[in-house]
Chain A
């Protein structure tokens, strides 16, 4: 069963406020128990897509297409039903827990409020908050409830925020850059909690990130966005070794690696399209090393590729470039790369 189904979603601002739609024909799905990555650079539309799952669009934006979240058509819901969807059926994990958790409330008040909003009676709310804190691996949850947010480190507060997102036993978790504000060594821990919880509750997780390597490391499938469109969809296992869109390949090459040769990086020239820019044809054509004249005339559709794995690419030259884009040489997944050996305690 799909807990999130976005079909042909186009979101546009009123005329004159942007030269192109914020999102163009975005289709994606997240199945129960599945971890799906949504990857793109700033302005690509990944956060907007994530928020559309909650029916939250920018003011005065118009939307076409459909969004079904945990069985509900979000654009058809009443305000009350939408509130229920947001508080009970979907959990949103924020990017920066310091901005998301009210610093003037104790952690317990924050969690009890979330639990109450999800329909749990007052009498049971506190006990449920304790359970939630335990679920996200906070030791001494009773004591933690009495603490203030400022008494927590960023990583611990992100756990509190995750606990808050779980208050309504959601079937879908939306995590928008959940570890970007955290130190690298904390990132792993917060992610492992998020992944464990998704697996235990067989919920679906949509992980929005700018980090292609992170997505490839923890997701089942990955969607790559560019200028408001999904330009590639692939199982994470194959995305890394054989990216099919020149942009994905460019991103992988531009990422500094911990193995292989050092020195100059293969940068992607130019910069992403702004909202005030619209180009005919493929929006990546101006930066693409494989561009052909037709690329600047025809907008490529996201085409499912024949064969296994549910691969889809929006590139006119997808077939020709297939072998060329396959990554050669040592990448980051180099087997010689030092991997942490656990030290005996």
Chain B
């Protein structure tokens, strides 16, 4: 997994980030092959979002390295050229499509802006490319002239994906990108993500708390618990035969018939007492895994 070379779209090694006394991300390493998809799984406080933000350069790691397509991206890029180059390498889609689009900008303008920024041809070439991108994410003519508020959650997330694809990045980071969507819409977006990956060589870093979704989108999975990697491997394998107690707990927490929620509570408390933070304070404070 640590082999260096042009085969990795994204390579993260020993990534660490500390806020005050909290180690949000602790020596996290993983790699995503070109055109591959890696799921980063964990609950709130597991460090998955901080890791994603360091990968796109929104946070600066305390130590460790991020390489995209073999090029080091350890620190936030400096200057306009640096920022644009980073944006062409890595793009991110956020969880909430209601917050991540400018409410005053129409869909086509929102995409054209990205293309103009990255110096895509003349007005005509840009218009063609906008059409191509919107076709790819399945947005019809009516939606193209719409403002974000005129679109549903699923349509907005399609716009966000089209926008992220516009600079033709090597890596797309999806931070809980389908979590806010209704099930029937979520399935459409997940299928769209599969189609996009089949059509072009793009790698996904898919950050999610939802194991079943990760299993459908990703070949590989990394499980984070309190900032550290506790398990990794092929997604179907890890989810079928989890070895770490935390992965087992996560899996058994997914509701299904014959489910015993009380047993899960007991297992979680057992897992907590094996880590020092929880035992000290009987009333857990915010940020603890409670």
Contacts and interface: CB of A to CB of B under 8 A. Distances in A.
Contact of B215 (A211, A217, A254, A262): A262
- The residue in B210, B257, B285 that gathers the most chain A C-beta atoms within 10 A of its C-beta is B257
Interface residues of B, number: 60
A269 B185 CA distance: 8
Interface in B216-268: 216, 235-236, 239-242, 245, 248-259, 261-268
B187 interface: yes
Question: Looking at chain A, what size class is its interface with the partner chain?
Answer: 35 or more
Contacts of A237: 257
A269 B264 CA distance: 35
Contact of A256 (B182, B212, B289): B212
Given A258-B254, A265-B216, A188 B264 contact: yes
B259 A217 contact: yes
B286 A152 contact: yes
Interface stretch (A2-10, A139-147, A166-174): A139-147
A178 B155 CA distance: 27
Nearest to B239: A258
Contacts of A257: 212, 215
B285 A152 contact: yes
Interface string A330-345: 0011000111111101
A62 interface: no
Contact of B252 (A196, A240, A251, A340): A340
B211 to A, nearest CB: 6
Given A147-B283, A258-B215, A332 B262 contact: no
B268 A217 contact: no
Given A185-B264, A340-B249, A153 B182 contact: no
A191 B253 CA distance: 11
Interface string A166-206: 00000000000000000111111101100110000000000
Contacts of B153: 42
B285 A184 contact: no
Contacts of B155: 271
Given A184-B250, A188-B253, A338-B239, 15 more contacts: A144-B283, A150-B286, A151-B283, A186-B290, A187-B255, A188-B259, A192-B265, A211-B255, A213-B254, A213-B256, A217-B256, A262-B216, A265-B187, A265-B191, A338-B242
Interface of B: 43-44, 152-155, 182-188, 190-191, 194, 209-213, 215-216, 235-236, 239-242, 245, 248-259, 261-268, 270, 282-290
